[in-house]
Amino acid sequence: MRARIGAGSLELRRGDITREGVDAIVTAANSALAGGGGVDGAVHRAAGPELLAECRKIGGCPTGDAVATPPGRLPVRAVVHAVGPVYGACGGREDELLARAHRRALEVAGEAGCRSIAFPAISCGVYGFPVERAARIALETIRDHLLGGSPPHEVRYVLFGARELEVFRGALRELVERDPRVVLGG
């Protein structure tokens, strides 16, 4: 499923984020940037030990923020490590922190010269963020970024599971109904 937003595009697809042909991929990192399970584990395995070595140089990243590293063995320009919130552990600020993690990932990728980026469902795995809620927050944040005109201009949301993809598709349809600036297709 694809949508035009301003001069940019948003695409939802099911797949393996480490195989996307984009300038930057986002990993759902922990605040220690220590690698982990789920998407972060898959990204670190595909990138090789060089990625963890780059993360160790940075040392960490607070919740709601993002940092970029060289990609290790991945065929992208950068890996953006976005730290989403653990659901129920941030004093009611989870929505704000999830939106900020997406916004910062887009900003960091743009600063690194990236024109395209692929996101996973940040905080929706072991961090327990409800997928329906996360989808609305993520897509609205991406819409706002694309309408602002800054790079990256091509955004993909790459979801591992069929259920998550359907939830994100539903959230995108709702966004199209509410906002005439978001147009399906193209």
What are the catalytic residues?
A: 40
Strand-pair partners of 67: 81
- C-alpha–C-alpha distance, residues 64 and 12, integer Å: 23
Is the distance from CB of 117 to CB of 21 less than 8 angstroms?
A: no
Contacts of 180 (CB under 8 A, 6+ apart): none
Is the distance from CB of 81 to CB of 45 less than 8 angstroms?
A: no
Preceding amide of 152 cis, omega within 30: yes
Preceding amide of 75 cis, omega within 30: no
Residue type at 182 in one-letter notation: V
